[in-house]
Every structure is written in C-alpha cells, then in structure tokens.
Amino acid sequence: MTDQTKEEYQHMLDAGMEPMTVAELVERLADLGYSINRGDSFSYTNTLNPPRAWKARSVDLRDDRTGLSFANVDANRDNLPALQELRRNAAVLHRGRIWEI
C-alpha cells in the first residue's frame, strides 16, 4: 500500500467515515437489496484530488431485484436513500486499495 493511500484512508476516517471490511459492506448491501457487480468493478489510481494520488477500486453496485445497476432509471428505488448514505459513509480499505462505492 502506498503512503498516499494510507494518508487518504486516514483522511476519510478523520472526516467521520465508517471503517468496514468487505464482508461488512457485502452484508450491509444485501440488507438493502444490493450486491457488488464484480464484472464491472475495476482497480485504478485516483489522481483527481492533487496532491494525493491513491490506489482505488471502483465498485459497481447492482439492484438485486431487477439485476440493473443501482443508478439505472428502472432500478428499484425503495432503499436508495439508505444506499446513498452507505456510499457516502463507508470507508473500505482492502488489499491496499480504497474502495469507491
């Protein structure tokens, strides 16, 4: 893990984000009716917030009821506010990458 990734993760925690494991994230998503679409998730280096550039993983979420992306206009919206709250507040660091959900 890079020093900048560590710094960014600590910055997220200092800002009040909730640290959680991948298993905890998967469970919380399932409780809301969502899951991770591994086929459309990918790793990259986030360079959009200079001066830090950290290792990241873009995580695509799927609505389990419809099978569509959570952002699709036809996806189920029953738990969308709770999902958005989770996306804003979850701090997942796994295998040296910050997960961006």
Position 99 in a domain: no
67 burial via Cβ count (<10 Å: 0-12, 13-18, 19+): exposed
In-domain check, residue 101: no
Report if residue 57 sits inside a domain: yes
What is the extent of the structural domain holding 58?
Answer: 3-94
Asked if 41 and 56 touch (Cβ cutoff 8 Å), the reply is no
Residue 37 lies in a domain: yes
96 φψ region: left (φ > 0), alpha (ψ -120 to 50), beta (else): left
Confidence at residue 50, expressed as pLDDT on a 0 to 100 scale: 83
- On whether residue 44 sits in a domain, the answer given is yes
Q: Is 91 helix (H, G, I), strand (E, B) or coil?
A: strand
Judge whether 70 lies within some domain: yes
Phi, psi at residue 22, to the nearest 5°? -60, -40
Q: Is 100 a member of any domain? A: no
- Regions of the chain short of the pLDDT cut 50: none
Q: Residue 42: its pLDDT value, please?
A: 96
Amino acid 12: pLDDT: 96
Note the pTM of the prediction, 2 decimals.
0.92
Count of the separate structural domains present in the chain: 1
The pLDDT of residue 52 is 85
Take residue 67 and report the two structure tokens written for it.
């099978």
Rounded to whole angstroms, how far apart are CA atoms 59 and 55?
A: 13
